[in-house]
Amino acid sequence: MTSMDRLLELYRAMRLARHFAERMNLLQRQGQVVFYLASQGEEAVSAAAAHVLEKTDWLFPSFRDLAALLHRGVPLVTLAHQYFATGDAPAKGRVLPIFHAYRDWQIAPPGANGAAHLLHAVGVAMAARLRHEPCVVLASFAAGAVDSGDFHAALSLASNFHAPVVFLCHQHSPESLPAAIVSQLAQKADGYGLASSRADGHDVLAMISALGEAVERARVGAGATLVTATTEEETKRDPLVLLRNQLERQKLWDPQQQKAEEQQDHELIAAAIATAKQAAPPAADSLLQDVYSSPSTETAASILSGSASATFPA
């Protein structure tokens, strides 16, 4: 059963993700951020994914899993550095802002095509199983990945190697995953010998229940599960409002504190953005960091100056 403290922590992460997403969306439209994908309305699916995992588990998020990153523990200022591609960003501005990867929080990067990371997630899960580590991997992806060969390859590998992985498919609009395909996902999972379930993507407690069962199956060695979160873009069923109402009914939330905490959210967001804006851009020599095992100073200088030969160090 979810404790009071964890429920409140969950709600606050979802609310902060909503406000941060709204602000980043505006900054992208103003040209201050190169690229951004809005995540409003997907907070329940995203936060639940992080909520059911242990610290030693791995999360392979989709592009819109902002709530999962925050609930997992990634600091707001770290996310701001990533979006503004500063020298303090873990990726040093070398990837799109939405390609989040934070090793300290066991968060791997998403796949560029929306599905490649599913194969990587299965690989990590297979390695954990071979090492007899109690690690579960959760890989989140948007509906468009269902048509990718990587999606099918990942499910096949997970089945064949009995990998402790949970696949989470969530849609962000009715058009992204028609009802016919939703009903077929269970058949696809069954065809690969995997368990499957379906939950209301607006209801975070329903998502926690479905994902929690899938994670537990994986952890005890019962295999992988495909979980489908169904959501509707044009709906009045706001996941934040639904959770807040549930908290109020359980006497866990006082409506009077809503305005004060929302103001605190905006102050935290403003401070993180201001810090990122004042940060220096990535240094030129950071372009080669984490690329070569041990590049020489001469090689680095020649590459940065454009005078390098076609032969690169191994």
**What do you get for the CA distance between the two ends of the chain, in Å?**
51
Total Cβ atoms within 10 A of residue 216: 14
Q: Are 9 and 71 in contact (CB under 8 A)?
A: yes
pLDDT value, residue 313: 45
pLDDT in the model for residue 270: 98
Longest dimension (CA), the chain: 68
Higher pLDDT, 94 or 50: 50
Cα gap 13→51, rounded to integer Å: 10
What is residue 1's predicted lDDT score, i.e. its pLDDT?
Answer: 45
Q: Which one-letter DSSP state was computed for residue 288?
A: G
Which comes out higher in pLDDT, residue 164 or 179?
164
Structure tokens at 193: 């010998």
Q: Which domains are seen in the chain, by residue range? A: 4-282 (3.40.50.970), 285-314 (no CATH)
Q: Indicate if the pLDDT at residue 310 is higher than 50.
A: no
pLDDT over 90 for what percent of the chain?
A: 68
Nearest to 170 by CA among 194, 152, 197, 195: 197
Q: Tell me the three state secondary structure of residue 43.
A: helix
- pLDDT above 60: residue 177: no
Query: Span 181-193, mean pLDDT?
Result: 79
Query: What's the mean pLDDT in 245-256?
Result: 89
Q: Evaluate if pTM is beyond 0.95.
A: no
Per-residue model confidence (pLDDT) at position 120? 97
Beta-carbon contacts of residue 45 (< 8 Å; ≥ 6 apart): 140, 168, 170, 201, 207, 229, 231
Per-residue tokens: 179: 């009802």
Residue with the bigger pLDDT between 297 and 17: it is 17
Task: In whole angstroms, give the CA distance from residue 162 to residue 193.
Answer: 10
